[in-house]
Amino acid sequence: MATKNVYLNWNPTENFILKDNDGYQIVMKKPKGVSASDLLSMSLIGCASHDVVEILNKQKQDLRQLKVTAESIQDDDPPWRFRKIHLHFQVIGNGIDPEKVEKAIKLSEEKYCSVYATLKDAIEITNDFEVVEE
């Protein structure tokens, strides 16, 4: 099994600074950074998007841009548990085959995305997509 480390440093002037093992930073806490709960949805769309781009490129699709939105539904009261995350993929390119997009998203969900695999039994995750001709 792989072991990965991430780090957090808090101090009164910089809020919360998250770093990965390579030193890439994310500032957490509003108003200067990302909220902690938004990081969950961001991790999901980041993981899925990476997979979808790789798969579509291997399928020789003329992908020019990918935009993904995550809409999250959380409880109103603490601990504000996530109930549902809906992903909307906007696939932009030339002659993109919708069946290949659907297959790429499904492969990400079922085989490749570690974040999806971790969350799928705890949260309802749905998706849809649109293909936009450039």
Superfamily of domain 36-133 in the CATH hierarchy: K homology (KH) domain (3.30.300.20)
Q: E-strand spans in 1-134?
A: 7-11, 15-19, 25-28, 62-74, 82-94, 124-133
* Residue boundaries of the structural domains of the chain: 1-34, 36-133
pLDDT of residue 12: 83
pLDDT per residue as tens, the chain (134 positions): 999 999 999 988 778 999 999 999 999 987 788 999 999 999 999 999 999 999 999 999 999 999 999 999 999 999 999 999 999 999 999 999 999 999 999 999 999 999 999 999 999 999 999 999 99
pLDDT at residue number 32: 80
DSSP category for residue 38: H
Quick one: pLDDT at residue 54? 98
Please report the pLDDT score of residue 13 as a whole number. Answer: 78
- Residues 92, 110: Cα–Cα separation, whole Å: 23
Count of beta carbons in the 10 Å neighbourhood of residue 17: 16
For residues 68 and 90, what is the distance between their CA atoms, to the nearest angstrom? Answer: 6
Distance (Å, whole) CA 97 – CA 132: 11
Question: In sequence order, what are the residues at sequence separation of 6 or more whose Cβ sits closer than 8 angstroms to the Cβ of residue 106?
Answer: none
Nearest to 103 by CA among 69, 54, 38: 54
